[in-house]
Amino acid sequence: MKILFYDTKVYDKETFNLALPDFPEITVDYLKTDISPKTAALAKGYDAICAFVSSDLGKETLDVLHDCSVRLLLMRCAGFNNIDLETAKKYGMTILRVPGYSPEAVAEHAMALALAVNRHLHKAYIKVRENNFSLAGLMGYNFHQKTAGIIGTGKIGAAMARICHGFGMKVLAYDVYKNPALDFVTYVELDELLASSDLISLHCPLMDSTYHLINKDTIAKMKDGVILINTSRGGLIKTDDLILGIRAHKFFGVGLDVYEEETPNVFEDRSDEILEHSTTARLLSFPNVIITSHQGFFTEEALKAIACTTLSNARDFEAGTIPEYNLVK
C-alpha cells in the first residue's frame, strides 16, 4: 500500500519511519504541505492519504481524491469533524482514525493547564526572569477538596477524572453514556455540574449536539471564579461569549489547547488586520488565560501509538479486517 502523508512535521516523519520496518508492505511519502482542494491532486497513484483533524477534507478535496482513486483516509488523530462524511460515503471511501492513542497525555496536559492558571505560573515565570520575586497577584487556591466537573468521560475524560480524584477532589461528570469504571465519580445533569464545579474540563467530541456547548447561557450557570479547561475541540466553546465572560470576571482562569480559529491557523498570517479581528489573539490579551498550541497529544508515547495504530489501520484495511472501533461510519 502507498500512503501520501500530508502536513508532515519532523516528529511525524521520525516516529512513522521508526514504525515502518514492522510494516514492510506499506510505503509512505511525506509532504510538508497540508491537504486542500489544490494539493489533493498530488495523491494520484496513492492508495491512501494520511491527514490530521485540522486538514481540509471537505467536499471539494474529496472530489479530487476520488478522481485520484484514493480509497482510504487515514486520520492520525481521534477527531474527524473536518471530513465531509456524506461525500466520503458516496465515494465509498473508508475512514480510519486513532481513537485512543494516549488518553493520559491529553489528560495530563489538561491538568497542567489547570494548575498553571490556578497558580499563575505564566506570570510567576516572567516576573522571576525580571528579578521580581514579589508574590503580589500570584495567589491561587487548593484543588484538594474542591469539585471538578468533567464533561465527557471517554478515555481522556476518564483519565482526567482519575487525576482530579488523585488530587483529593470531588469529581462530578456529565455524559450521555456513564463509564462504569469510574465508581468514584458522581454523574449529574449538565446544569448541576456547571453550578457546582470549581474546575470544569471539556473532554467530548465536536458534534452538532456539542457545538458551542459553552456559550453565554451555560457560562451564566457556572460558579463565579471557576477555572475552565478545553483540550478537546475548539468549537465546543463560543469564543465571543467566552471573552464576554472573562471581561465580566466570571473566570478565575481559562486554559485552552484548542480554539475555534485553529483551522486555518490564525497565526500563520500575522498581518495586523487579521490579528486585530482574531478572537484567539483577543483571548491572549487576558492575563488569566493560557493558550497552548494543540500540544496535548505531544508526548513520545502518544506519537509512537499514533504511528503504530495508523499503519496497523492501513494494513488491516488491505487485509480486509477493518478494526470496527477505529472505523468512522
Give the residue numbers annotated as catalytic, written as ranges.
233, 262, 294
Q: What is the dihedral of CA 205, 208, 210, 212, to 10 degrees?
A: 120
Distance between CA 312 and CA 218 in Å, rounded?
41
**Alpha helical stretches, state H, 182-299:** 190-196, 216-220, 239-247, 272-276, 279-283
Q: Which is it for strands 94-96 and 327-328: parallel, antiparallel or unpaired?
A: antiparallel
Q: Which residue has the cell 493547564?
A: 113
Q: Which residue has the cell 494494513?
A: 315
Query: Are the CB atoms for 312 and 319 separated by under 8 Å?
Result: no
Q: How is residue 319 written as a grid cell? A: 487485509
Angle (nearest 5°) at CA 211 between 206 and 216: 140
Query: Are the CB atoms for 102 and 299 separated by under 8 Å?
Result: yes
